[in-house]
Structure 1
Amino acid sequence: MSKVAVITGGAQGIGKALGERLGKDGFHIVISDMNIDLANKTVEAFKNNSIDAIAVQGDISKQDDQFHVVDQAVKQFGSVDVFINNAGIDQVEAVEDITPNNLEKIFNVNVFGTVYGIQAATKQMKKQENGGKIINACSIAGKTAFQLLGAYSATKFAVRGLTQVASQELAQFNITVNAYCPGIVGTDMWDRIDAGMVDYKGQKPGEAWQEQVDNIPLKRSQTPEDVAKLVSYLASEDANYMTGQAINIDGGIEVH
């Protein structure tokens, strides 16, 4: 019987690439996303490529929504074998400029949302004979500092800590918990960072991005598909003995 993978924020970007790869690996795919129209379009594209998938509207910062997507996955496919806390947001601003509203918003999504995802997945996986795998989106910003990403970095350090604690607490139920830590991915986030550097450092548009790419030992920016290859491993039986890890997939930027 095919296994089932739930992916939050799966309608586009890295989340969509995760769904494509795991679908090709034989998983049924459940996409949770706030933008249900875009999620439905992604599901349609998946089905055109012979990937069995459904879309569920959900806001990860709401605990009930995280439990709802698990319920829908079980209703449609019978289990949740892999739950990927992929959805998240970024903020680009100096530490001295972070507002209470912005700090609350990013922690509600990136940290609270991860906690709620772990809780929802755990409730279902404890019922299953074979347990399951929880995979969290961390970042190299959860291991080292990047200017203008103070709040974002704080949330990703928190995700790394949650990953380690949850892995210890859930091992007895045959549930593993790991995280993937991407580097410089060509997404809207880095467009915003680049724009922020124009004001913060006086750089020209595109300079901050190119500076980061030039510092990558492999000398190219990262694609969502690069991330998906690592997550494919973490979701597979080959990773059954791995838990509590936050693994870099960044072209060699962070080597500590």
Structure 2
Amino acid sequence: MKGNGQVALITGAARGIGRGIALRLAKDGFDVVVNDIDSEAIHLVAEEIQALGRRSKAIVADVSSGKEVDEMVDQAVDQFGTLDVMVPNAGIAQVKQAIEITEEDWDKVFSVNSKGVFLCARAAARQMIKQKNGKIVNCASIAGHDGFSLLSHYSAAKFAVVGFTQALAKELGPYGITVNAYCPGIVGTDMWELIDEKMGEYLGLVKGEALKKYSELISLGRVETPEDVASLVSYLASSDADYMTGQSINICGGIVMN
């Protein structure tokens, strides 16, 4: 097993990509702490992990709150003794033209997608520096490599994650800690159902047509699954990736190739 009893913490793990990552790392041999703001759903994911024979703990916390994030990491370490992998996966999307975005919209998207990644990585780094090892695997997006129309604040927030990943990797390298990011494309999750619906309103398309339109950009010809993303995170969380740091890797079926 890759994890061999190591401990991973995944935020936004109640469904979609986060749940897929949590279950994959459990199958890899990690004990997994799962976080979300949805108490009922996140406890069900913890039960799924336990059914796979791994230890798990569900923690309800808001990743945009430094106090709650710090307490979440403290709880994980208190119960399991270490934190080997941090995956700040929690994210939100909003479809709007840039001229319609309010300050509140901007702040909300950045509070989760950028600030949340920063707070989780900061808390994890403090623990990992004590251990002199660890892996931080941030959630970015292909929208962090190529800005997308109607997703300007989301794109900006994900570009910020890419820059932060590079800078943090340089700071933590001397401690034996790697920092990378995964950049999904069009994934068949609740988030993309919302994007499809809202983009359809702007583009004059019925439900499902916006997703179909953008899916035509996928070189491999199919919509991505959470398991596709989880496979990359599995690698980045493993010893196979010990010499990789500062990278933000597209996992998108060939939509973006830079």
If the TM-score is normalised by the length of the shorter chain, which range does it land in? over 0.9
SS, match of residue 126 in structure 1: helix
Paired with 1:188 and 1:65, the residues of 2 have a C-alpha distance of 25
Paired with 2:26 and 2:138, the residues of 1 have a C-alpha distance of 18
Shift of 1:206: 1.5
The answer (yes or no) to whether the contact 1:60–1:113 under 8 Å persists in 2 is yes
The answer (yes or no) to whether the contact 2:147–2:156 under 8 Å persists in 1 is no
Q: Which residue of the other structure, out of 201, 205, 208, is the alignment partner of 2:207?
A: 205
1:216 paired with 2:203, answer no
SS, match of residue 51 in structure 1: coil
Q: Which residue of the other structure, out of 84, 87, 92, is the alignment partner of 1:84?
A: 87
1:114 aligns to what? 117
SS, match of residue 127 in structure 1: helix
1:251 aligns to what? 253
Q: Which residue of the other structure, out of 61, 76, 80, is the alignment partner of 1:73?
A: 76
Q: Please, what TM-score do these two structures have when normalized by structure 1?
A: 0.97
2:60 aligns to what? 57
Alignment of 1:92-131 (within 5 A): 92-129=95-132, 131=133
Shift of 1:204: 2.6
Paired with 1:170 and 1:60, the residues of 2 have a C-alpha distance of 21
1:239 aligns to what? 241
Shift of 1:136: 0.3
* Range moving further from structure 2, 156-165 or 138-147: 138-147
Please tell me the residue identity of whatever aligns with 1:155.
A
The answer (yes or no) to whether the contact 1:148–1:193 under 8 Å persists in 2 is no
Please tell me the residue identity of whatever aligns with 2:112.
V
The answer (yes or no) to whether the contact 2:92–2:112 under 8 Å persists in 1 is yes
Paired with 2:123 and 2:199, the residues of 1 have a C-alpha distance of 38
Provide Cα deviations, 1:172-194, integer angstroms capped at 9, x if missing partner.
11111000000100112222222
Structure 1, unaligned stretches of length 5 or more? none
SS, match of residue 29 in structure 1: strand
The answer (yes or no) to whether the contact 2:95–2:199 under 8 Å persists in 1 is no
SS, match of residue 178 in structure 2: strand
SS, match of residue 62 in structure 2: coil
Structure 2, unaligned stretches of length 5 or more? none
SS, match of residue 222 in structure 1: coil
Paired with 1:127 and 1:68, the residues of 2 have a C-alpha distance of 17
CA RMSD of aligned residues (A): 1.1
Please tell me the residue identity of whatever aligns with 2:201.
D
Paired with 2:239 and 2:136, the residues of 1 have a C-alpha distance of 13
Paired with 1:76 and 1:46, the residues of 2 have a C-alpha distance of 16
SS, match of residue 9 in structure 2: strand
Q: Which residue of the other structure, out of 183, 186, 189, is the alignment partner of 1:187?
A: 189
TM superposition outliers: structure 1 runs of 4+ over 3 Å: none
Identity of aligned residues (%): 49
Alignment of 1:24-35 (within 5 A): 24-35=27-38
Please tell me the residue identity of whatever aligns with 1:95.
A
Please tell me the residue identity of whatever aligns with 1:214.
E
Shift of 1:145: 2.1
1:132 paired with 2:142, answer no
SS, match of residue 103 in structure 1: helix
The answer (yes or no) to whether the contact 1:198–1:205 under 8 Å persists in 2 is yes
1:141 aligns to what? 143
